[in-house]
Amino acid sequence: MQEQSPEKKINPDHEFSGHIYIFHAFDVGDDINLEKVEQLRAIKTVPLSLPKYFKNYNAPLAIELPHPNESARCISVKLHNFGAISLTYKIPYTGTLENFRKEFYGEYYQYQEQSVTDLKLIYKKIEQFITQPKFFHTRSSYNIIQVNPEPKKINLAQLQKEFGSVIASTIRFETETLSEYQRNEILDSAIGYYRGNLVIVDTDTTFIYDDDYQDLLSFIEFANLQQLELQYFDRLLDQQLNKIYESGGTQKIPLAAYFPFLDNITDPVAKLGKLKVDISVITERLEGSIKIAGDPYYSEFYEQLIKKLDIKMWQSAIDRKLDIIKDVLLIYQHKTDVIRENILEVLIVILIFIELVIGILHYVKGG
């Protein structure tokens, strides 16, 4: 029986190559008029190519970063009609994974600042076409570490065994080695389609050991955008709840609210209804923009993204806050209705009294 040759030892200083992708999304207003923006001479649009899993009816407007700018790494700028702007940066690298771990957070922080600078260039150009513009309400970020596979030098098992600890700590922004439990938990969640590729999804960063990954970028950009909008709505609802808490759980009813013809101006329940509709429309639009049923690999990947980004948790929190606000404002509405009924009864009594007085006067004069 022939003995198996021992597995080739991998040099810990082995140099890898690949790219860092950093996704940023900002909420800058209630909505953006994409048709008007597209007509601006200062804005240059670029063709938009969406994977087959994305529907085109809510497609964003892809543009070039306005000149002059100093952002050579910005590869994508997209304007979304619900008031969001997303930017993507691509940074190539070559070196050891250990050195990369030490430098990763610095790269991330650098492009955190760069994204704000680039956003300001875009915002100034399109501000007039943003409803309720603000620089900026909320932001959301996510990262990809993509490594080119080298199947002739390193197989997947060797990569996980020799470099698993470095990979795990890097995607957690840690410069020290994680515990074995944390390391195994991260590596055990890995998925892959072909035998030699590896994808690890985590809360802030996804690690991709593959050279065919373009569709995954679109899913990550989309999920980051979902998180942005849910965070924005959560913050908006927190502001409404704070107003309720500051008032001691009761809403002061203005005098104008007692008159039905001023109802559209003063009715807070109607305002809540409009807010609820806005939230429902945008969340449904986002959820309906993607269809990956029948593709187990992308379905599993996207489900992991949704889980790691706490998308379901954000949605549940928003639903709970909407219910709380709705209950309080329904009490407010009930109080208003009761007072209006009382006012109406008083007015009827006054009118009857006036008619009675007039009748008596006519009787006296006639007598």
End-to-end CA distance of the chain: 136
pLDDT in tens, the chain (367 residues): 344 444 566 777 889 999 999 999 999 998 999 999 999 988 999 998 877 877 766 789 999 999 888 788 999 999 998 899 999 999 999 999 999 988 898 888 889 999 999 999 999 999 999 999 998 889 999 999 999 998 888 888 888 888 999 999 999 998 888 888 888 889 888 887 766 688 999 999 999 999 889 889 989 999 999 999 999 989 888 887 887 777 655 555 555 555 555 554 455 566 666 777 778 777 777 776 777 766 788 888 988 999 999 988 988 888 888 888 778 777 777 777 777 788 888 888 888 989 888 888 887 776 5
Helix 311-366 × helix 214-246 angle, to 10°? 40
Residue count of the chain, please give it.
Answer: 367
**Are residues 249 and 328 in contact, defined by beta-carbon separation less than 8 angstroms?**
yes
Q: What is the DSSP string of 138-149?
A: EEEEEEEEEE--
How far is residue 167's CA from residue 158's CA, in Å, rounded to a whole number? 13
Show me where the domains of the chain are located.
16-213, 218-356
Provide DSSP, 348-364: HHHHHHHHHHHHHHHHH
- Give the whole-angstrom CA distance, residue 353 versus residue 342: 16
Number of CB atoms found within 10 A of residue 86's CB: 23
- The token duo for 303 is 């489900």
CA-CA distances (angstroms) from residue 232 to 80, 210, 318? 15, 34, 10
Three-state secondary structure readout of 192-214: CCCCCCEEEECCCEEEEECCCCH
- The whole-number pLDDT of residue 252 equals 59
Phi and psi dihedrals of 131, rounded to 5? -80, 130
Q: Show Cβ contacts of residue 207 under 8 Å, excluding neighbours closer than 6 positions.
A: 144, 145, 147, 167, 170, 171, 198, 199, 200
Q: What is the CA radius of gyration of the chain?
A: 29
